[in-house]
Amino acid sequence: MNSKLHEPVLLHEVVNMLNCSPGKSYVDCTLGSGGHAEAILERLGGNGKLIGIDCDESAIAAASDRLQRFGAEFVSIHDNFVNIGDILKRLNVEFVDGILFDLGVSSNQLDEPSRGFSFRNDGPLDMRMDSSLSTSACELVNQLPERDLSELLWNYGEERKSRRIARRIVEARKRKAIRTTKELADIVIKASPSRGRIHPATRTFQALRIAVNRELEMLRDVLERAACLLSAGGRICVISYHSLEDRIVKREFLRLSKSIPVLVSRTCRGELARPNGQASLPLLKLVTKKPVVPSREEMFSNRRCRSAKMRVAERVE
């Protein structure tokens, strides 16, 4: 396991926006190595609870080691955040005061060649955040028809040269299977030479990672469920790193803030539900009209944060 701790993005902004204070309970749905969770627990001052969820077993192990000093205040759960309702039910927790999502891939995952997330380190073409997932990037690259592969690169990576890259991948795999990150990156570089500051394989690797882990589908599914689990005045913070994620968060927060009937999720509590399955009041109100972005100082010290955008909403009374 990589011993380097991932540097949490927008750390102070997260703690402040979540209104972290003693006696409250929080959920970190993307625990990672525990940077945000540690700051929240420190703000609780020995009186409160933090539930950390992550689908990556190595992340759970790293965070549990880092946060063991907090004892029973911290609970780690190896699961996908889309199951947040069932997770809290198992823990006999009805509502929480804040929920955090720090999306995307962590520095620790990128820096570990065996995980196959990065084109900068040669390793097996995997990209699964949860090792129990059946499909890896290797299967997608070597098995998808050319048209489907092109659409994947366009839809999840917004790759303008998706057709050319897909065609080159299919041509290459006819000669031999593409097994490593370096093999794939070399193919993409030849198909799409350097575009300046952005490595030519960036969007291809992003698209494959999103597809393998069903990241956008999971995000769409979880936001309303999470909103229903907030106590009145509780807040939900979502940090995203590319336009596809941010667009989903923006639209969902707007939808859930409208004063019009909206369908009630099965995880919503009974007091919100009408017999016709609709809620007459909004679940959320927007706290941030525009996303919060890192300061210049943070951008200088942490390259990963440069594209970060955080949106915050609050559960209405």
pLDDT tens for the chain, residues 1 to 317: 344 556 799 999 999 999 999 999 999 999 999 999 999 999 999 999 999 999 999 999 999 999 999 999 999 999 999 999 999 999 999 999 999 999 988 777 777 888 888 888 899 999 999 988 999 999 999 999 999 999 999 999 999 999 999 999 999 999 999 999 999 999 999 998 776 778 899 999 999 999 999 999 999 999 999 999 999 999 999 999 999 999 999 999 999 999 655 455 544 544 444 445 555 689 999 999 999 999 999 998 888 788 999 999 999 97
* Residue 222: HSE in the Cβ half-sphere, 13 Å Cα cutoff: 25
Per CATH, which fold does 11-108+215-315 belong to?
Answer: Rossmann fold (3.40.50)
Confidence (pLDDT) at 156? 96
Sheet holding 284-286, edge to edge: 74-78, 48-54, 24-28, 96-102, 230-240, 309-315, 284-286
Name the nearest CA neighbour of 155 among 105, 223, 211.
211
* Pairing of the two strands 24-28 and 96-102: parallel
* Pairing of the two strands 24-28 and 48-54: parallel
Confidence (pLDDT) at 263? 52
Cα gap 37→237, rounded to integer Å? 13
Q: What is the largest CA-CA distance in the chain?
A: 62
Name the nearest CA neighbour of 12 among 302, 211, 295.
295
- CA angle, 226 then 227 then 230, to 5°: 95
Structure tokens at 302: 């942490």
Under 8 Å between Cβ of 204 and 153: yes
Confidence (pLDDT) at 107? 74
Confidence (pLDDT) at 186? 96
CA separation (Å) from 103 to 44, 122, 150? Answer: 24, 24, 24
Per CATH, which fold does 111-213 belong to?
Answer: DNA polymerase; domain 1 (1.10.150)
Cα gap 136→114, rounded to integer Å? 13
Confidence (pLDDT) at 3? 40
Each domain of the chain, given as residue ranges in start order, spans 11-108+215-315, 111-213
- Cα R_g (the chain), whole angstroms: 20
Under 8 Å between Cβ of 298 and 269: no
Residue in this structure with the two tokens 């593409």, named with its chain if needed: 178
